[in-house]
Amino acid sequence: MMHNHERAYIRHPADIPLEVSPASQTVCAGAIRNLSRGGLSFSCAVPYSPGQDVDLVIRCCPNPLEVRGQVVWCEPKDGGFEVGIAFYSPGDAYQVRMVEQICQIEQYRRDMLAREGRDLSIDQAAREWIERYAHQFAQGDWSEE
């Protein structure tokens, strides 16, 4: 398991819907706040215990992604909690990263419709997003190991 936390990897801000469901608690609906190769952090109304295993579900795509991680830290923040999760494998991190890219492209598509009235297909949006933002998104080594 990857135990490195916070400063070990480049952070990639996100605001992607996330469901977290440890066996002993109800599902927490939150949003990914930071994503790195080692894990992610999210905001939630309930605290989690370091060392606790959690199942993560990201539903911003047609096919939700499910991965397992472990809580490495939990801190009070803004009346709730910010929770840090370590991924169990680089492959899990890579899958989450790819889902993040799909979510960002879909958000770009919605933004272009709202701001410019352009109704782009997913392929058109992907091409434009890659042209404009892929260089920023590709920071760090995110290749699957």
pLDDT for position 17: 66
pLDDT for position 116: 92
Averaged confidence pLDDT in the chain: 77
Q: How far apart are CA 34 and CA 50, in angstroms?
A: 18
Residue bearing the bigger pLDDT, 134 or 88: 88
Residue bearing the bigger pLDDT, 128 or 60: 128
Q: How far apart are CA 101 and CA 129, in angstroms?
A: 10
The answer to whether 28 and 45 have CB atoms below 8 angstroms apart is yes
Q: How far apart are CA 11 and CA 93, in angstroms?
A: 12
| CA distances from residue 15 to 1, 52, 105, 112 in whole angstroms, order as listed | 25, 23, 13, 18
Q: What is the pLDDT of residues 29-85, one digit of tens each?
A: 777 777 777 888 888 888 889 999 998 888 776 677 888 899 999 999 989 999 999
pTM, to two decimals: 0.67
Task: Please give the single-letter amino acid code of residue 12.
Answer: H
Q: Summarize the confidence of residues 86-105 as an average pLDDT.
A: 83
